[in-house]
Amino acid sequence: MKRLLADTGPLLHLHEAGSLSLLPLLGTVIVPPLVLVELSVHAPALWPGSLPDWLKVEPLLPMAQQRAQAWQQAGLLHGGEAEAVALALDCKPDWFLTDDAAARLMAESLGVEAHGSLGVLLWAAGQKLVGKKAAEAALTALESSSLWMSFRVRAQARAALAQIFATS
């Protein structure tokens, strides 16, 4: 099982696509407090009551908070992304989950492996944790979510799924 750290994007987009259930198949997901605040704005009914067991909230240490604030003030990252990247430097997750290009670049430049919602879906399909029809339906739903994907990325994702399931 992987140790994941996420910003708001993948949680929101996978929720909108009805595919949030893929995340606990990968492992535990850690988020900074601001990610929960952002989710409460964009998906207020996501977790009424308590959080799922696979989701853990970790506060930022003072140095991480300072890094996050500096990145925000410099206009490099938005709040949730800044906190998540800063927390990732301290937590050392297996994967940093983000659908934000700037956050991905920042994380990777700091030595943190980053993947997005599509990466989660493709990994789950590659591990045979979801079947072909479910994976294709999840991709179609992601394409209809608030996640922006270029035509090229959509085509590459479809081709990757076809390749994954061609060997089944």
What is the per-residue pLDDT across 141-153, written as a single tens digit (0 to 9) for each? 999 999 999 999 9
Q: Tell me what pLDDT residue 146 has.
A: 96
The boundaries of the domain holding residue 11 are 1-168
User: What confidence tier does 47 reach under pLDDT thresholds 50, 70, 90?
Assistant: confident
CA angle 142, 43, 19 (to 5 degrees): 35
CA neighbor of 88 nearest in space, from 161, 35, 39, 137:
35
Beta carbons within 10 angstroms of residue 58's beta carbon: 15
Contacts by residues 50-54 (CB-CB < 8 Å, ≥ 24 positions apart): 52/24, 53/24, 54/23, 54/24, 54/27, 54/28, 54/29
| 3-class state of residue 37 by DSSP | helix
Domain at 82, CATH number? 3.40.50.1010
Given a cut of 80, is residue 167 above it in pLDDT? no
3-state secondary structure string, 93-153?
CCEEECCCHHHHHHHHHCCCCEECHHHHHHHHHHCCCCCHHHHHHHHHHHHHCCCCCCHHH
Number of domains in the chain: 1
Encode pLDDT of 56-115 as tens digits. 999 999 999 999 999 999 999 999 999 999 999 999 999 999 999 999 999 999 999 999
What integer best gives the mean pLDDT of the chain?
95
Residue 53 burial (10 A CB sphere; 0-12, 13-18, 19+): exposed
